[in-house]
Amino acid sequence: MLSKEAEDFLTNLKVYLTSYGKNEKEIQEIVTELEDHLVQAENSGKSIEAITGGSPKAYMDQLKNEMKTDRKEVISLLLLFFPLALSFVILPDALRGEAAYSLLEIIGNLSAFVISLGVFILFMRMESSGSMSKGVRILMYWIVGAGPLAMFLGIKLIDKSLGLSPVFIATPSQSMVIAGVCALFLIGYSILSKTWVTIIAPCIIIAPDFIAGLFTSNPQNQAMISLGIMYAAILLIVLYLVIQNKRKKRSR
């Protein structure tokens, strides 16, 4: 039976190697082999440092450098991330019947996707390698969680203030189809990945707009109120996760 420290190390190792686009099958083989070594070491009274040489990150980097990057793995992750991120942006607009985008929004949202993906991968690497301090970790949680939403909303506000004409306008029937496809994709992903994030996140994006509409009809005021509600919801979720994490640590 592995200790909690050893289990965390194996989980972090898997995330770390995955963030560098290593082959999933090879990663699992390494994790399984390493798990056997850790079990033997701990049964002999040795700590995890006996395997890692005292530096988990250095050990992870050594394994990473010995493995080849799987381009197919990288492409598959990108193909998964792109429609996932796209659904978060398009679903609220389709439900409101406002699926219309200017050239600025299209280019801006694509740029936001790329930046968000880069920041998320960086966060995965830093978090799994244990190279972040507590303060940096909290900051990165906020950047990863709220940064993309702020960029998407910022692009929308700039577009509205400039009054740019859309280059794509969905018809009511097209909006219904788009909303249905996005909803099915997010629900399917949630079931396969066993996480509620892909359902909760769209709700955080959609609900504030409807609530803001009850207070004012001014588009700019609605955007500001919506942004405030959204950040408040994110703050509550972060606080909930922090409290849950502390409870789990106390129960061990």
Q: How confident is the model at residue 249 (pLDDT cuts 50, 70, 90)?
A: low
Alpha-carbon gap, residue 168 to 50, rounded angstroms: 60
CA distances from 240 to 192, 235, 245 (A): 24, 9, 9
Q: How confident is the model at residue 218 (pLDDT cuts 50, 70, 90)?
A: confident
In this prediction, residues 196-225 reach a mean pLDDT of: 75
- pTM over 0.75? The answer is no
pLDDT of res. 130: 75
When mean pLDDT is compared across 18-32, 141-155, 166-180, the lowest value belongs to 141-155
CA distances from 127 to 30, 36, 47, 145 (A): 20, 24, 22, 14
Q: How many CB atoms lie within 10 A of CB 25?
A: 10
In this prediction, residues 127-136 reach a mean pLDDT of: 74
Q: How confident is the model at residue 159 (pLDDT cuts 50, 70, 90)?
A: confident
In this prediction, residues 110-122 reach a mean pLDDT of: 83
- Residue 76 reports pLDDT greater than 60: yes
pLDDT of res. 198: 67
How much is the mean pLDDT over the chain? Answer: 79
In this prediction, residues 52-79 reach a mean pLDDT of: 78
- Residue 75 reports pLDDT greater than 60: yes
- Residue 207 reports pLDDT greater than 70: yes
Alpha-carbon gap, residue 61 to 63, rounded angstroms: 5
pLDDT of res. 191: 79
- Residue 174 reports pLDDT greater than 80: yes
**Residue 138 has which token pair?**
């909290």
Instruction: Compare 75 and 120 and report the one with higher pLDDT.
Output: 120
pLDDT of res. 145: 67
When mean pLDDT is compared across 60-69, 153-162, 189-198, the lowest value belongs to 189-198
- Percent of the chain residues past pLDDT 90, beyond the cut: 2
- Percent of the chain residues past pLDDT 70, beyond the cut: 85
The contacts of residue 1 (CB under 8 Å, 6+ apart) are 39
SS3 168: strand
pLDDT of res. 24: 82
Give counts: helices (H), strands (E), the chain: 10, 2
Q: How confident is the model at residue 126 (pLDDT cuts 50, 70, 90)?
A: confident
pLDDT of res. 10: 87
